[in-house]
Amino acid sequence: MAWIVFDQEERRNAINDAMWDAIPDLVADLDADPDVRVVIMRGRGEVAFVSGADISEFEKNRVGPAAREYDARNARAFQALADLSKPLIALVHGFCVGGGCAIALNADLRFAADDAVFAIPAARLGLGYSGSGLETLVNVVGLPAAKEIFFTARRFNAEEARSIGLVNRVLPKSELDAFVEKTARQIAENAPLTVRSAKLILGQLRRYPGERDLEAEVRSIDACYASDDYAEGVRAFLEKRPPNFRGR
């Protein structure tokens, strides 16, 4: 497994321009590394996942023409996370607000400590919010919950977030890290090509039928059947032993 750690602990891991810019290249490197089967995102420490975009930079980078470039920077980061072919887990302690919530929404799985707090306070700042960002929110929680999150701009506690599907599970704070690492290991022990194929197809299922890349879906399935891992999985089952998958 590999980690993406948002590290600006003195500002509750608020994400600045340099951090936004670093995400696409970092994700590309992790995607290309055959030894990485699962990626976990978290904030440094246990006070916050990401408390939002670094507002101290807003007066220079989120006004006038610069605001569009800022939004494009965000979009590149979100798209890189969404396009990662390997499972992406968000491990959430404390504050997961604004840009932090948007980052977490691009994970495949979200696990939260019982002190986690979620919000998208765009309406309290008066800023515009992209259609792609709202679409991601709707895909995760559904339209009625997305409207409540966005229109009220209020904070949702961990149990509220779980009840609307914003997180998969809520755990006691002291147990969260160990649970997420155990879950990541369970995923990493499975056949990587099968997991990758499932992620690709599940992502395609959110598209309209005419927009799905059916050829890519079929290729991913064929790659599973043609792999050494498929033969290994069958042999291991017949021999009643754990399989040793190698991702090929």
pLDDT at 125: 85
Query: What's the pLDDT at 63?
Result: 64
CA distance 119 to 216: 35
pLDDT at 53: 80
Quote the pLDDT of residue 32: 96
Rounded distance between C-alpha atoms, residue 5 and residue 150, angstroms? 26
Written as six digits, the tokens of 202 are 């599940």
Position 196 scores a pLDDT of 96
DSSP string, 118-179: EE--HHHHT----HHHHHHHHHHH-HHHHHHHHHH---EEHHHHHHTTSSSEEE-HHHHHHH
pLDDT at 66: 66
2-186 is classed CATH 2.40.50.140: no
Query: Which residues in the chain are classed under CATH 3.90.226.10?
Result: 2-186
Helix and strand element counts for the chain (H, E) = 12, 9
Query: What is the 8-class DSSP label of residue 247?
Result: -
CA distance 236 to 242: 6
Taking the chain (248 residues) in runs of 10, the rounded mean pLDDT of each run is 94 92 96 96 97 75 70 90 97 96 97 98 88 93 97 97 98 98 97 96 86 92 95 95 94
Whole-angstrom distance, CA of residue 163 vs CA of residue 147:
15
